[in-house]
Every structure is written in C-alpha cells, then in structure tokens.
C-alpha cells in the first residue's frame, strides 16, 4: 500500500464517521499505534543495566507522556515501565522517598538529575 493509499484510507474513515470529531479520531489512531508498538515489542538489550546520568537527563528533559516513555524505552533498549518509573520517582516528594526507599541509589541518581533540570517534587 502506498503512502497516498494510506492517506486515502484515513480520509475514508473520517468521512465514514462524520459524527466523530477529527481530533478525537487522531487521538484514537495515535493511541492505537502506540498500543500496537508496545505489543510488538523491541529489543530490551539494556534491561537491568544501570542508567547513566546522560540517559536520565534525556528522559527527564521530555514531558512525562506515554509517547515519551515509548520513545525513550525504544531508544535506550529498556522496558516501557522502566522509563515510566523514572518519571514517577522524579516527581515523588522527598518525604515519601525517605519513608519508602531511603537508601535506594537509583532513586538518588534520578532525584539528582531531576534537580539539575529544575524538576520540582
């Protein structure tokens, strides 16, 4: 199928459902593509390996969206949940960290990089 044919197909879907807002259709399509990518998977060759400060800086420089999680998981060959977890810990207040995981070196590393980037938690 050519690019032109794919575009035509999308236009037909939009025209077939005139009651649907085009922006909502775009959101649904984007979500379906993201879900498909996660289901297909990718190489997670770095899974379980330590994160570098530069990798964390790259992750935390983007907004904590599903799209960002997918982009960084694929780029760094990690699991989607690992990237999601970085965003969660970066946004977790220090009082909660002290109560739940006071001696976790990885969380300390995340918080250090997040602070350098101006994150507030």
Q: What is the pLDDT of residues 56-93, one digit of tens each?
A: 999 999 999 999 999 999 999 999 999 999 999 999 99
Q: Flag whether pLDDT at 121 surpasses 80.
A: no
Let me know if 57 is exposed, middle or buried by CB neighbors in 10 A (0-12, 13-18, 19+): middle
What pLDDT does 38 receive? 86
Confirm if 72 and 46 have CB atoms less than 8 A apart: no
Q: Which residues contact 25 (CB under 8 A, 6 or more apart)?
A: 13, 14, 17
What pLDDT does 10 receive? 87
Confidence band of 13 (pLDDT split at 50, 70, 90): confident
Give the residue carrying structure tokens 């350098």: 116
- pTM value is 0.77
């Amino acid at each position: 199928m050519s690019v032109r044919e794919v575009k035509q197909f999308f236009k037909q879907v939009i025209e077939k459902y005139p009651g649907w807002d085009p922006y909502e259709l775009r959101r649904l399509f984007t979500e379906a593509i993201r879900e498909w990518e996660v289901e297909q998977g990718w190489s997670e060759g770095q899974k379980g390996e330590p994160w570098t400060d530069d990798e964390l800086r790259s992750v935390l420089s983007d907004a904590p969206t599903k799209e960002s999680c997918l982009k960084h998981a694929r780029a760094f060959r990690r699991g989607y949940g690992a990237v999601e977890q970085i965003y969660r810990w970066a946004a977790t207040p220090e009082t909660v960290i002290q109560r739940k995981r006071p001696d976790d070196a990885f969380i300390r590393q995340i918080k250090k990089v997040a602070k350098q980037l101006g994150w507030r938690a």
